[in-house]
Amino acid sequence: MTVLAGTGSTALAEDRGQPAHLVFCDVDETLIDRKSMFDFLRFRLVRRHGDAGEERYQRIAGELRERAARGARREDVNRAYYRAYAGEGVAETAALGREWFSLAAADPGFFIASTAAELARHRAAGAEIALVSGSFAPCLDPLAEHIGARHVLCSAPVVREGRYTGELTEPVIGEGKRAAALRLLAGYPGVDPRDCYAYGDHPSDEQHRHDSS
């Protein structure tokens, strides 16, 4: 799986052949029925701290929603979210992400059936799927493996000595989604962007669709 995030790095397609086309798919409320970042944050805090974790989640989520209500850019709200992970271990967070996914995916309504069916249709036609999200790898990697997505284009929190610093290099929101999609397309010189597809639920996803096609 290629993980393309704020680093700007990607594996080229020469060694694995060219797909028929690429499909870029937003995740939250497009492929799944919830906001993965908030759902996972709550899961992590409650799993570790019980009722105190629920209180902390409500405080953090409230602060983020208040920022958004005051007109803060979505990219800035995305950065603020990752400050809640300062000092957390990367391996431990990844393990919690897989636990979160296994429980969440057991809900029959977790996947939005129409989108999942479209992605399966594209894969059967020889496409490669790229998940594009402001969320991060602990949430997205198990999801990508489950649906057979070849690429994950996501926000990449800064890591030092195996722990998150709370900082973020480049949010994969708005312009960040467009930049990530273009970097991936650059690794597929034989794929015409006009043959690619994108699925999303927000105006910024629509902008990314037009700019990468």
pLDDT in tens, the chain (213 residues): 544 444 333 333 444 578 989 999 999 999 999 999 999 999 999 999 999 999 999 999 999 999 999 999 999 999 999 999 999 999 999 999 999 999 999 999 999 999 999 999 999 999 999 999 999 999 999 999 999 999 999 999 999 999 999 999 889 998 999 999 999 999 999 999 999 999 987 554 444 444 444
Residue 178 tokens read as 């467009």
Calpha distance 45→47 (Å, rounded): 5
Domain residue limits, the chain:
2-211
pTM of the model: 0.86
CB 10 within 8 A of CB 184: yes
Positive/negative CA dihedral, 97, 102, 105, 108? negative
State the greatest distance between any 2 C-alpha atoms of the chain, in Å, as a whole number: 53
How many CB atoms are located within 10 Å of the residue 85 CB? 21
Calpha distance 70→87 (Å, rounded): 28
- Residue range 2-211, CATH number: 3.40.50.1000
How many CB atoms are located within 10 Å of the residue 47 CB? 12
Nearest Cα neighbor of 57 from 71, 27, 37, 86 is 37
Residues in the chain: 213
H helices of the chain, in order, are 36-49, 51-69, 74-82, 90-104, 113-124, 137-147, 175-186, 203-211
DSSP 156-173: -EEEETTEEEEEES---S
